Chains A and B, each alone.
Chain A
């Protein structure tokens, strides 16, 4: 018996040991699998961030173009600058300031949405919440009234709002929402609606990019009107009508409010510029949307008339009269060419630029020292993926050595920069810069303060700048937003700066969490994270990574496609014998220098390009599974590529020209716009090509162009999954009411 038992236990022992070994094995395998997934997630993240910030560079270019158009449009057609200035510098419609303007709008009996009564009550905000959850749209009459009331309220507020925790228990601070209604509702669900017990500060960027910007901002304003003591809003860089033109808010408003959209947008413009720019808690915590610069002066900021800075993208008009942007731009255009390879063009650019430049700089030294963009250039290897690690001559043709000199404003103009001297900045310019710095700056790791070239506005500020400002004003913490973070929040500058970002899944389903931060009397921040899930079934990490990765790679391929000729030129430099192949190393070098995206190209290579049997890379394969949506006849590839690259800008310009928002513009208008635009791109496209294009896209042959159709042609489609895309879009279609 004894023998039997011991054998049994021995066998048991063996089995247990086996089980343990087995378990360890499985665990190791699984952990490895998860780790590789994590790697893919990181690369995907890098791609999204790089592309996003590289894209934002463009909007300042557009702004310069607007300015140029304003100044020169009269020369091109007799219409005068009305077209552009109408939208950019609208004369305040006296109609909109009168109470009767919205009263005159009739709300039909059939309208089943909320009917607000002012002053607002909890019943109204509840009605709005449930209406928006049910995909309803608020009637234009109530939108206008809401905006009008909000404008009245905001006018009474200071630039910097001071809060105290002695009156309120806890304060919740939220970051960017970007039109994500689900995230806002989730925050309210988790944390409670605004009330005396639950104070909120929303730190800007309520609109743009997401599809429900209108609903988000209406809710925020409604709560602001309901509880002006418990609800606080800071202005973000997207509370700006020019940004809205590009990033979707304008379009959303026009689509949801076909009749009154324009009036609504004009009121939004006023309201946005009236939003306070900062909040301070207990005199210790500063909350701003972007960040600070080495010249941020909170006392000065408190004193200015903030509403005068309608948009960060409109340089103070007066200074531009002293500048001759057009002159220096013409110089730039002459030397720039899209097709020639990089080294030779930069040399010729530098040569031609030298003469006007030296003239300018001599003028500079006479002027006084303070200027908008001067700063110590600590440009050596900035860590974030979006900063150019090398300042290639292609991007800065005007200055052969240091791109940033005192008293010279670098005006990005489309693909290049112009050196434009500034006279000593006027009050208006100083105000503009102070506000732009607050709304646009990003923290960086190294000390110092340098212009934020990637964003096109504001600065990169280092820990020393933070330290100095906090000390100067007796503050202990800076809370800001403006940048998407994987975990929804992030510390930097030795814990002195918090970034808080509240739009989860910003790039793609599963890309990041959203977060909000709560402060009690002791002013110790507590973070709460969340992630909105579109599907009820929980997605595994694998599925999320796959979706995000697919999306990121698609975006990356589009970037490659948009720069095809430059890339091909670069590849061909390494392939003198025209074999169609280069080494992986050379391929990576070309991509790096043309796209200026700091990404792990080697690791991404399998997704982007094919290898030949001998291990070399077939570079044409980069562009293989991409193509335009509808094949356009008689369009040269150069034109197609240019149109593709600038399609967002073109869309904006069309939107401006199409005053009645019919979706149609006349062929003549198209021709003129395109001629103007292409002249400044420096793209040599002769008139007959433009005419051919105009004719070929006049699908109805009625003399007008439906530019939605036109843009469709330049929407890049992945040849392999175009069918899937269509299906996806169908399922994703939103109900629209009103």
Chain B
């Protein structure tokens, strides 16, 4: 990546990127495991799809070592920031998404239905992800997932 000289990230943003990166730099050698790239992206407020992540990692990975070095990460991230590649998704869109799945407009989804969608459509969840989601969001009494209640949980963020 050739960075135009004029583009320099302001210190605050740079520190944020560095902070997110360093949280996963477990060997203290300025590299992170590529598997963590998704987490890093999300923690910075981006919403890449799995496909997006694949593309990103393949461009910056250090010769199939499984690691990405800061020196390659930074310019690539800068590009992402400048091009606003993975813009956030609003809560309304999220609500609409749930409503699309809830064809009969009941206001809730059955666990089996949600599982069907999440594990078969789009970019499927793993069994672990599915279990965690169900445990977290299924109403205890009638085993429904009231998505209107779920959304605030998903979107409620502590300002970091």
Contacts and interface: CB of A to CB of B under 8 A. Distances in A.
Contact of A22 (B101, B123, B129, B154): B101
B54 interface: no
Contacts of A22: 96-98, 100-101, 117
10 contacts: A22-B96, A22-B97, A24-B121, A27-B122, A28-B49, A35-B43, A39-B43, A540-B132, A540-B135, A606-B159
A29 B125 CA distance: 12
Nearest to B20: A39
B123 A27 contact: yes
B154 A29 contact: yes
Nearest to B27: A445
Given A24-B122, A24-B123, A540-B132, A30 B93 contact: no
A510 to B, nearest CB: 13
Contacts of B93: 25
Given A24-B122, A34-B132, A19 B43 contact: no
A396 to B, nearest CB: 23
A19 B122 CA distance: 9
A606 B160 CA distance: 7
Contacts of B158: 606
Contact-size category for B: 35 or more
Interface string A540-555: 1110000000000000
Contacts of A542: 136, 153
A30 B27 contact: no
**5 closest Cβ pairs, A-B complex:** A35-B42, A383-B28, A24-B122, A23-B122, A23-B121
Given A19-B121, A23-B118, A25-B97, A39 B132 contact: no
Interface of A: 18-36, 38-39, 42-43, 381, 383, 445, 538, 540-542, 600, 602-603, 606
Contacts of A36: 42-43, 157
B47 A32 contact: yes
A381 B43 CA distance: 27
Interface string B65-103: 000000000000000000000000100011011101100
Interface in B108-133: 117-118, 121-125, 129, 132-133
Contact of A42 (B23, B48, B96): B23
Contacts of A606: 158-160
Contacts of A26: 94, 97-98, 101, 117-118, 122
B58 interface: no
Given A30-B154, A35-B43, A602-B15, A23 B135 contact: no
Contact of B28 (A43, A381, A600): A381
Contacts of A23: 97, 101, 117-118, 121-122
A600 B22 CA distance: 9
Interface in B1-43: 15, 19-20, 22-24, 27-29, 38-43
Contacts of B23: 39, 42-43, 600
A30 B121 contact: no
Nearest to B147: A26
B94 A25 contact: yes
A445 B123 contact: no
A42 B26 CA distance: 11
A404 to B, nearest CB: 22
B100 A18 contact: yes
Contacts of A445: 27-29
Nearest to A604: B160
Contacts of A24: 49, 121-123
Contacts of B136: 540-542
Interface of B is mostly: helix
A600 B38 contact: no
Q: Most A CB atoms within 10 A — which of B93, B121, B123, B155?
A: B121
A33 B156 CA distance: 9
B151 to A, nearest CB: 9
A383 B98 contact: no
Nearest to B101: A22
Contacts of A540: 132, 135-136
B19 A538 contact: no
B154 A20 contact: no
B117 A19 contact: yes
Q: Most B CB atoms within 10 A — which of A28, A36, A445?
A: A28
Q: Most B CB atoms within 10 A — which of A30, A538, A542, A606?
A: A30
A20 B121 contact: yes
A27 B22 CA distance: 26
Contacts of A538: 135
Contact of B160 (A19, A25, A30, A603): A603
A27 to B, nearest CB: 5
Contacts of B129: 30-31, 34
A381 B30 CA distance: 13
A19 B159 CA distance: 32
Nearest to A25: B97
Contacts of A43: 23
Contacts of A19: 100-101, 117, 121
Given A24-B122, A42-B24, A606-B160, 10 more contacts: A19-B101, A22-B96, A23-B97, A23-B122, A29-B47, A34-B129, A34-B132, A35-B42, A39-B20, A542-B153
B39 A39 contact: yes
Given A23-B101, A24-B122, A600 B19 contact: yes
A27 B160 CA distance: 23
A310 B133 CA distance: 52
Contacts of A602: 15, 19
Given A23-B101, A603-B19, A606-B160, A28 B117 contact: no
A39 B36 CA distance: 10
A25 B47 CA distance: 9
B109 to A, nearest CB: 10
A28 B46 CA distance: 10
A26 B118 CA distance: 8
A43 B20 CA distance: 11
Contacts of A25: 89, 93-94, 97, 122
Nearest to B46: A32
Contacts of A30: 125, 129, 133, 154
A36 B44 CA distance: 9
B153 to A, nearest CB: 8
A688 B96 CA distance: 72
Interface in B134-160: 135-136, 153-155, 157-160
